[in-house]
């Protein structure tokens, strides 16, 4: 449900088949990104119409649209990987290992400038993944601490 913060009234209900585990409004205000079950959906934030829907390789807990250009999105969930996808085609661009061997990836997000992604898992681990300069191949596996220059910070509890 989308609420008007001033009046406290429901503005719109976006229908999904599974419970929504994350929702995010894009930085430019054009899209609402939702994760439900094995789906990542992008909604028009002005008219509330479904723009794109992609079936993911696992149950997804969180998804985030890359804010700078809006041409990529990230998703993470039960398979413990951070997946980077092409927004227009849904094709996986790269897969980054979260590093927690038996923990569900509970949240992912893009930095405001799109220069990094953050991921967090159920064991309290948070990782920051730098974007851009690396040459990633499809399904490329990056070790938990990543090669030099791909990870800005990594900390765990």
The CATH number of whichever domain residue 117 belongs to comes to 2.130.10.10
Residue 110 inside a domain? The answer is: yes
How many domains does one find in the chain?
1
* pLDDT score recorded for residue 102: 64
Sign, CA dihedral 54-67-31-37, equals positive
How far CA 122 is from CA of 41, 45, 126, 148, 150, in Å, comes to 23, 30, 10, 26, 23
Q: Does residue 82 contact residue 43 with C-beta atoms inside 8 Å? A: no
Residue 133 inside a domain? The answer is: yes
pLDDT of 88 above 90 = yes
Supply the pTM of this predicted model: 0.78
Residue 72 inside a domain? The answer is: yes
pLDDT digits 0-9 by tens, 96-118: 876 556 677 788 988 888 888 88
Residue 5 inside a domain? The answer is: no
* pLDDT score recorded for residue 99: 57
Residue 7 inside a domain? The answer is: no
Within 10 Å of residue 125's Cβ, how many Cβ atoms? 18
| Residue 57 domain boundaries | 16-155
């Amino acid at each position: 449900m989308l609420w008007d913060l001033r009046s406290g009234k429901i503005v719109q209900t976006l229908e999904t088949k599974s419970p929504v585990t994350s929702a995010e409004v894009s930085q430019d205000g054009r899209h609402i990104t939702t994760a439900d079950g094995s789906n990542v959906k992008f909604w028009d934030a002005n008219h509330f119409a479904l723009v794109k829907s992609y079936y993911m390789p696992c149950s997804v807990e969180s998804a985030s649209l890359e804010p700078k250009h809006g041409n990529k999105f990230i998703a993470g969930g039960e398979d413990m990987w951070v997946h980077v996808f092409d927004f227009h085609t849904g094709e996986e661009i790269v897969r980054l290992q979260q590093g927690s061997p038996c923990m569900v990836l509970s949240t992912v997000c893009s930095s405001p400038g799109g220069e990094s992604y953050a991921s967090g898992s159920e064991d309290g681990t948070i990782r920051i993944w730098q974007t851009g300069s690396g040459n990633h191949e499809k399904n490329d596996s990056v070790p938990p601490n990543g090669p030099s220059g791909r990870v800005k910070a990594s900390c765990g509890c």
